[in-house]
Amino acid sequence: MTSQCDGWIRNYVDGSYVEPDESSSFDQVDPATGRVLARVHEADKALVDRAVTSARRALDNGWADTPVRERTALLRRAADRIEERFEEFVAAEMADTGKPITQARELDVARALTNFRTFADIVAAAGQESFVTDLAGGKQALNYAIRKPLGVVAVIVPWNLPLLLLTWKVAPALACGNSVVVKPSEETPATASLLAEVLEEVGLPAGVYNVVHGFGANSAGEFLTTHPGIDGVTFTGSSATGSHVMKTVAPRVRPVSFELGGKNAAIVFDDVDIDEALTGLTKSVFTNTGQVCLCTERVYVHRSIFDDIAGGLVERAAGLRLGDPTLDATTTGPLISQAHRKKVLDYFEIAEQEGAKVLTGGGIPDLGQELSGGSWIEPTLWTGLTNKDRVVREEIFGPVAALIPFETEAEAIALANDTEYGLAASVWTNDLRRGHRVAQKMNVGISWVNTWFTRELRSPFGGMGLSGIGREGGESSLHFYTEPTNVCVQL
């Protein structure tokens, strides 16, 4: 039995794919064409319970006590196996998202390899904290902390970078000896189920990795976060859903790690190399059709170069290639669904009501009959807006940004920080002292200077305010996926 066969994408529980039934299922839709590709079997409450129970049993039957070197060796084998099956993962990710093949290869699946290998290295090298404590009367005590697995972790991941974000969480979770129950987004079920094949092939014990599919209220996600057997929740997705998940685990005071929404700013100073800045800004606004929590939706530009940057970005947007995701020349895919496209188009309406001047885009492109059923949208740029406008305050999650001029550094910092979110920012300037100074002043988790989405996986990653709780990455992941016990011995 495999993750996807005879037209079904399956749940994976206790080491095997679950036989689907028609009664609870939903469609896997290709966002590029609107075509139904397969049926997805929706997990009911009993199946979610079986997943959590088998995850606990796997922990207790030895996985939690597996030597670190065995766990990290398994992660490396998983990376090698994904590499061998690379194009299968690319195809599965593209079927779910419609994203261009070059991005699926160079970002989404490539990062899965890096995530597994990086956390194998980090956990293999991790030490423990210990101290010799001086006491009264010349006595001493030895204090040392051992880190145990957090336990059964609920991993809830979004539809924008499905495999990247899934492995960003599952790699450290497994490396630290946890077992996981994964609830992928209903929009993108394929790679989470396919990963189960690889983990089984490389010898992960049954029950350590489980996948349950579902969506909305009173479904797998809800059954999972409310399940008394869950020891912690790691979630990437919208701030509203994050807030709801927090409420569901609050009665049992379970730890959460949230990477949520953003309304990220770029600040472009007058001393930039215009071409270099345009390249970086285009990437930060339009990557993954703007469907990355780190994408820029607010671009603050020094007034003296505003027209150069605005004009240059319009040209770059015109240079984007929307179309058949299987072509290497394609740079930009569709939005994830018709429902999400309606949300983005509604914001296009609101922007015009708020006085936006549309520099480019603002509608639906005509890409021919083959793609007419897809959820395509035009890359869009606005001017004429202020920080008071809804489309400058609310996360849109599409290929769109508002361009707003500023005069002084202090004004730019104030404008960029004027938000309830706090995930990412980018500062573009050739004065590196100013770059460091302004980047540090950003109230965000990740602040880039003259670059965007450059990732050091050992750094803390996450956001503040509405953008999340906690950090993952490097040591931060170890802290979330383990529970330390400090032992104090009188010497």
Ligand X SMILES: O=C(O)C(=O)/C=C/C=C/O
Q: What does each C-alpha distance from 71 to 62, 148, 447 come to in angstroms?
A: 12, 14, 33
Give the contacts of 239 (CB within 8 A, at least 6 positions apart): 260, 261, 395, 421, 466, 467
Q: Shortest approach of ligand X to residue 352 CB, angstroms?
A: 27
259 given a catalytic annotation: yes
* Distance in Å, CB of 160 to ligand X, minimum: 5
Is the Cβ of residue 52 or residue 79 nearer to ligand X in the bound state?
79
For ligand X, the closer CB: 209 or 461: 461
Rounded CA-CA distance 447/250 in Å is 31
Binding site for ligand X (CB under 6 A): 160-161, 165, 168, 292-294, 455, 461
The closest residue (CB) to ligand X is: 293
In the bound complex, what is the minimum distance in angstroms from residue 380's beta carbon to ligand X?
19
The C-alpha atoms of residue 398 and residue 388 are separated, in whole angstroms, by 20
Q: Which residue has the tokens 């350590």?
A: 208
CB of 165 to ligand X, least distance (A): 6
Q: From the CB of 258, what's the least distance to ligand X, in Å?
A: 12
Residue among 54 and 239 whose Cβ is closer to ligand X = 239
How near is the Cβ of 191 to ligand X at its closest, in Å? Answer: 15
Residue 58 or 154 having the CB closest to ligand X: 154
**111/341 with CB nearer ligand X:** 111
Question: Which CB sits closer to ligand X, 159 or 406?
Answer: 159
Q: Select which of 88, 259, 297, 472 is catalytic.
A: 259
Q: Which is nearer to ligand X, 110 or 165 (CB)?
A: 165
Minimum Å gap between C-beta 282 and ligand X is: 18
Output 223 or 397, the one with its CB closest to ligand X.
Answer: 397
Minimum CB–partner distance for residue 289 and ligand X (Å):
12
Residue in 312, 310, 389, 327 with CA at minimum distance from that of residue 352: 389
The Cα-based distances of 285 to 220, 289, 332, 398, 425 in angstroms read 33, 8, 12, 9, 12
Give me the active site residues, please: 259
